Amino acid sequence: MLIGGKLAGLAVVARGVALGPAIAYIRRMSIRAILIHPDPRLKKVAKPVGDITPELRTLADDLLETMYNAPGIGLAAPQVGVLKQLFVMDAIKEEGAAPRPMALINPIVTWTSDDMNTYEEGCLSIPDHYGEVERPASARVRWTDLDGKVHEEQFDGLWATCVQHEVDHLNGKLFIDHLKPLRRQMITRKMVKLKRERARM
């Protein structure tokens, strides 16, 4: 996920960070190719994760590496072609603040506030296009971490927007689905053109 395209500061982050509470480890991470809309895989509902395997941990590492490199503040497994209920995020934007990388497995939104926020959202699968999306200002989410522990936390502000944006990805929904049809169609046409241009390179 991108917010207004102003996320360059998130690209510089120490590698080998913890993905769960009190878990530190170092693995070799790699940057994966991000699917560009329109792609049928981005519209499919991701499958729940069963066992937490070494392959899943590697996927989470790669998602974080790819997200920070983009740079963005969230990235879901379907965006790299893996239809599993997993996404990563780090919505820390304050200069000098410590990063907070998170990996959320099988996330469920258990509550949202009546109060709403509007952010100019973007998406790593829809590069260079943004739109104002209204979402609940706060959201409570339950998920499993990479150690198999279940967590529940309330997210507010940008974190709430990010977590809801990424849960949408797991349900086959993009931020442009919240926009008016003409705007959505215009962005989609531009993405089709971009993909054609990239294919010729």
Please tell me which residue in 55, 95, 121, 166 is annotated as part of the active site. 166
**pLDDT, tens only, 92-124:** 988 899 999 999 999 999 999 999 999 999 999
Are residues 83 and 44 in contact, defined by beta-carbon separation less than 8 angstroms?
yes
CA distances from 44 to 7, 161, 184 (A): 28, 21, 18
Whether residue 166 lies in the annotated active site = yes
**pLDDT, tens only, 43-83:** 999 999 999 999 999 999 999 999 999 999 999 999 999 99
Question: φ, ψ for residue 14 (rounded to 5)?
Answer: -60, 140
**pLDDT, tens only, 164-174:** 999 999 999 99
Domains of the chain: residue spans and CATH: 2-14+26-200 (3.90.45.10)
What is the C-alpha separation between 107 and 172, in angstroms, rounded?
14
* Structure tokens that stand for 94 in this block: 């304050």
For residue 89, the 8-state DSSP code is E
For residue 170, the 8-state DSSP code is H
Say whether pTM exceeds 0.85: yes
**pLDDT, tens only, 183-201:** 999 999 999 999 999 999 8
